[in-house]
Structure 1
Amino acid sequence: MSIRNLKHLFRPRSVAVIGASNQADSVGAVLMRNLLQGGFAGPVMPVNPKYTAVAGVLTYPDVASLPLTPDLAVIATPPAAVPALIGELGARGTRAAIVLTAGLSQARDEADRPLTEAMLAAARPHTLRILGPNCIGLLVPGLGLNASFAHIDALPGKIAFVSQSGALCTAVLDWARAKGIGFSHFVSLGDSADVNFADVLDYLGSDPGTRAILLYIEAVREARRFMSAARGAARNKPVLAIKAGRMAEGAKAATSHTGALAGADDVYDAAIRRAGMLRVFEIDELFDAVETVARLRPLRGERLAILSNGGGPAVMATDALVAGGGRLAELGEDTVRQLDAVLPATWSRGNPVDIIGDADARRYAQSLEILLKAPDVDAVLVMHVPTAIAPGEAAAQAVAEAARRSERTVLASWMGDYAAERARAVLDAAGIPNFDTPDQAVRGFLHLVRYRRNQELLMETPPSVPSEFTPATATARLLVQQVLASGRDQLSEPEAKAVLAAYGIPIVETQIAASPEDTLRVAREIGFPVALKILSPDIIHKSDVGGVVLDIADEAALQAAAEAMQARLRAIFPEARLTGFAVQRMARRPGAHELIVGMSTDSVFGPIILFGQGGTAVEVIGDRAVGLPPLNMTLAGEIIQRTRVARLLRGYRDRPPADLDAIRLTLIQVSQLIVDLPEIVELDINPLIADEHGVLALDARIRIAPAAQPGPARLAIRPYPRELEESAVLRSGRQVLLRPIRPEDEPAHAAFISRLTPEDIRFRFFGLVSEFPHSEMARFTQNDYDREMAFIATAPDAHGQPETLGVVRSIADPDNQRAEFAIVVRSDLKGQGLGRILLDKMIRYCRARGLRELVGQVLADNTAMLGLARRFGFERHATPDPELVEVRLALE
Structure 2
Amino acid sequence: MTQRHLDRLLTPQSVAIFGASDKPARVGTTVWRNLRSGGFQGPVVAVNPRLARLDGQRCYASAADLPFIPDLAVLCTPPASIAPLVADLGARGTRAAIIVTAGLSPADKQAVLDAARPHMLRLLGPNCIGLLSPHLGLNASFTHTHARPGELALVSQSGALLTALLDWANKQRIGFSHLISLGENLDVDFGDLLDHLAGDPHTRAILLYIESVSSPRKFMSAARAAARAKPVIVVKAGRAPAGMQAAASHTGALAGSDLVFDAAIRRAGMLRVDTLKELFIAAQTLARFRDNPASELMVITNGGGAGVMAADEAAHLGVKLARPGDALMRRLNTVLPGNWSHGNPVDIIGDAPVQRYVDSFDALLNAPEAGALLFVHAPTAIVDSRDIAEACAPQLARHPGRVMGCWLGGDTVEPARRCFEAAGIADYETPEEAVRAFSLMQTYRRNQMTLRQTPAASTLAEPDQARARNLVAAALAEEREWLDEVAAKSLLAAYGVPIVATHLVPPTPDAAAAAARSITGPVALKIVSPQLLHKSDAGGVRLDLADEAAVRTAAQEMLAHLQATQPHARLEGFSVQAMARRPHAQELIVGAHVDPIFGPVLLFGQGGTAVEVIGDRAIALPPLNRTLARDLIDRTRVARLLTGYRDRPPARLDAVCDVLIAVSRMMGDLPELAELDINPLWADEHGALALDARVRLSAARPAGVARFAVRPYPAELERTLLWRGGSILVRPIRPEDEALHREFLESADPEDLRMRFFEAPHPWSHDALARLTQIDYEREMAFIALDPNAPDGRRTLGVVRLVRDPDNTEAEFAVMVRSRLKGQGLGRLLMQTMLDYATARGTQRIIGYVLRDNRAMLTLVKSLGFTTQADPQQPSELIYVSRAMPAP
Q: What's the TM-score, normalizing by structure 1?
A: 0.96
Rounded to whole Å, the distance in 2 between the matches of 1:409 and 1:482 is 63
Partner residue, 1:793 = 785
Aligned ranges 1:379-394 → 2 under 5 Å: 379-394=372-387
Asked if the contact 1:378–1:408 (Cα under 8 Å) also holds between the matched residues in 2, the reply is: no
Is 2:772 the counterpart of 1:772? no
Q: Secondary structure at the match of 1:802?
A: coil
Q: 2:160 aligns to what? A: 167
Distance, in Å, in 2 between the alignment partners of 1:681 and 1:28 is: 49
Aligned equivalent of 1:345? 338
Retained in 1: the 8 A contact 2:673–2:703?
Answer: no
Of 870, 884, 887, the residue aligned with 2:881 is 887
Counterpart Cα distance in 2 of 1:91 and 1:250: 44
Secondary structure of residue in 1 paired with 2:828: helix
- Aligned runs of 1:41-120 on 2, under 5 Å? 41-105=41-105, 114-120=107-113
Contact 1:47–1:60 (CA<8 Å) still a contact in 2? yes
Task: Give the deviation of 1:796 after TM superposition.
Answer: 4.6
CA distance in 2, matches of 1:783, 1:847: 20
Deviation at 1:382, TM superposition (A): 2.0
**Which of 570, 582, 585 lines up with 1:589 in the alignment?**
582
Matched, 1:556 2:549: yes
| 1:327 CA displacement | 2.1
Post-superposition offset of 1:21: 1.5
Give the counterpart letter for 1:387 in structure 2.
T
AA of the residue aligned to 1:76 = C
| Residue in structure 2 matched with residue 670 of structure 1 by the alignment | 663
Deviations along 1:839-887, whole A, 9 cap, x unmatched? Answer: 1111111111111111111111111111111221111112233311111
1:142 and 2:135 aligned: yes
Given that 1:19 and 1:77 are in contact with CA atoms closer than 8 Å, whether structure 2 keeps it comes out as yes
* Native 8 Å contact 1:298 1:452 kept in 2: no
Question: Partner letter of residue 881 of structure 2?
Answer: V
The counterpart of 2:453, out of the listed 442, 455, 460, is: 460
Paired AA for residue 743 in structure 2: A
CA pair 342-724 structure 1, distance change in 2 beyond 3 A: same
Q: Which residue of 1 aligns with 2:483?
A: 491
Q: Aligned AA for 2:556?
A: E
* Structure 2 counterpart of 1:315: 308
Equivalent residues of 1:497, 1:507 under 8 A apart:
yes
CA shift, 1:797, in A, is 6.2
Supply the distance in 1 between the matched residues of 2:542 and 2:391 (Cα, whole angstroms): 71
Q: Name 1:4's counterpart in structure 2.
A: 4
Equivalent runs, 1:117-516 vs 2, <5 Å: 117-397=110-390, 399-406=392-399, 409-465=402-458, 467-514=459-506, 515-516=508-509
SS in 1 for 2:427: coil
Does residue 846 of structure 2 align to residue 854 of structure 1? yes
TM-superposition CA deviations, 1:406-433 (whole Å, max 9, x none): 4663212222223322322232122111
What letter corresponds to residue 274 of structure 1 in structure 2? R
Decide which of 698, 704, 726 is 1:711's aligned counterpart: 704
1:352 Cα deviation from its structure 2 partner:
2.5
Secondary structure at 1:80 match in 2: helix
SS of the residue 2:242 aligns to: coil
User: Which stretch of structure 1 is more off in the superposition, 280-289 or 292-301?
Assistant: 292-301
The code of the aligned residue for 1:268 comes to F
* Pairing 1:564-713 to 2, within 5 Å after superposition: 564-708=557-701, 711-713=704-706
- Whichever residue aligns with residue 51 of structure 1, its letter is L
Q: Is the 8 A contact 1:276 1:451 kept in 2?
A: yes
The change in CA–CA distance for 1:216 and 1:206 in structure 2 (over 3 A counts) is: same
Greater shift after overlay, 452-461 or 375-384? 375-384
Give 1:369 deviation, angstroms.
3.8
Q: Is the 8 A contact 1:598 1:682 kept in 2?
A: yes
Question: Deviations for 1:639-677, whole angstroms, at most 9, x for unmatched residues?
Answer: 111111111111222222111111112111111111111
Deviation per CA, 1:565-611, whole angstroms, max 9, x where unpaired?
A: 11111211111111011111111111311111111111100011111
State the partner residue of 1:538.
Answer: 531
Contact 1:529 1:553 in 2 (8 A): yes
Q: What secondary structure, in the 3-state scheme, does the structure 2 residue paired with 1:419 have? A: helix
**Alpha-carbon offset, residue 135 of structure 1:** 0.5
* Cα pair 2:302 2:350 within 8 Å, conserved: yes
Residue 58 to residue 327, structure 1, CA distance change in 2 (3 Å): same
Q: Distance in 2 between matches of 1:711 and 1:765?
A: 38
2: CA distance, partners of 1:857 / 1:843:
16
Code of the residue aligned with 1:808 in structure 2: it is: V
Q: Which of 821, 827, 835 lines up with 2:827 in the alignment?
A: 835
How far did residue 613 of structure 1 move?
Answer: 0.7
Query: In the alignment, what sits opposite 1:15?
Result: 15
State yes or no: 1:817 paired with 2:809.
Answer: yes
**Percent of aligned positions that are identical:** 56
Question: What is the identity, as a one-letter code, of the residue corresponding to 2:140?
Answer: A
Contact 2:6 2:96 in 1 (8 A): yes
SS at match of 2:751: helix
Which stretch of the first structure deviates more once superposed, 516-525 or 702-711? 702-711
CA distance in 2, matches of 1:621, 1:367: 48
Matched residues in 1 for 2:179 and 2:243: separation? 34
Q: Is the 8 A contact 1:304 1:328 kept in 2?
A: yes
Conservation of the 8 A alpha-carbon contact between 2:672 and 2:702: no
RMSD: 1.8
Question: Separation in 2 of the partners of 1:661 and 1:805?
Answer: 31
Per-residue deviation at 1:501? 0.7
Q: Distance in 1 between matches of 2:381 and 2:788?
A: 73
SS of residue matched to 1:49: coil
Q: Contact between 1:300 and 1:408, CA under 8 Å: does it hold in 2? A: no
Query: Greater CA deviation, 843-852 or 17-26?
Result: 17-26
Deviations 1:510-550 (A, max 9, x none): 11011221111211223221111111101121111111111
Secondary structure of 2:833's aligned partner: helix
1:784 is matched with 776
Counterpart contact for 2:460–2:658, Cα < 8 Å: no
Q: Distance in 1 between matches of 2:553 and 2:592?
A: 36
* Distance (whole Å) between structure 2 residues aligned to residue 286 and residue 597 of structure 1: 33
Contact 2:720 2:727 in 1 (8 A): yes
Determine if contact 1:382/1:413 at 8 Å carries over to the other structure: yes
2:720 to 717, 727, 740: 727
Where 1:738 maps in the other structure, the secondary structure is strand
Inter-partner Cα distance in structure 1 for 2:186 and 2:876: 45
Correspondence for 1:109: none
Supply the distance in 2 between the matched residues of 1:9 and 1:81 (Cα, whole angstroms). 21
Question: Structure 1 residues 840, 709: CA separation in 2 closer, same or farther (over 3 Å shift)?
Answer: farther
Compared with structure 1, are the counterparts of its residues 692 and 389 closer, same or farther at alpha carbon in structure 2 (3 Å cutoff)?
A: farther
* Mapped partners of 1:333, 1:693: distance in 2: 44
Specify whether residues 667 and 710 from structure 1 end up closer, same or farther in structure 2 by C-alpha distance, changes over 3 A only. Answer: closer
Letter in 2 for 1:97: A
Give the whole-Å Cα distance in 2 for the aligned partners of 1:356 and 1:367.
12
1:309–1:355 CA contact under 8 A, matched in 2: yes
How many residue pairs match? The answer is 883
Q: Which amino acid aligns with 1:788?
A: E
TM-aligned CA distance change 1:365 to 1:746, over 3 Å = farther
The residue type paired with residue 739 of structure 1 is R
TM-superposed deviation, 1:158: 1.3
Alignment partner of 2:426: what SS? coil
Of 405-414 and 92-101, deviating more is 405-414
What CA distance in whole angstroms lies between the structure 2 residues aligned with 1:746 and 1:364? 47
Cα distance in structure 2, aligned partners of 1:341 and 1:542: 71
Displacement of 1:156: 1.4
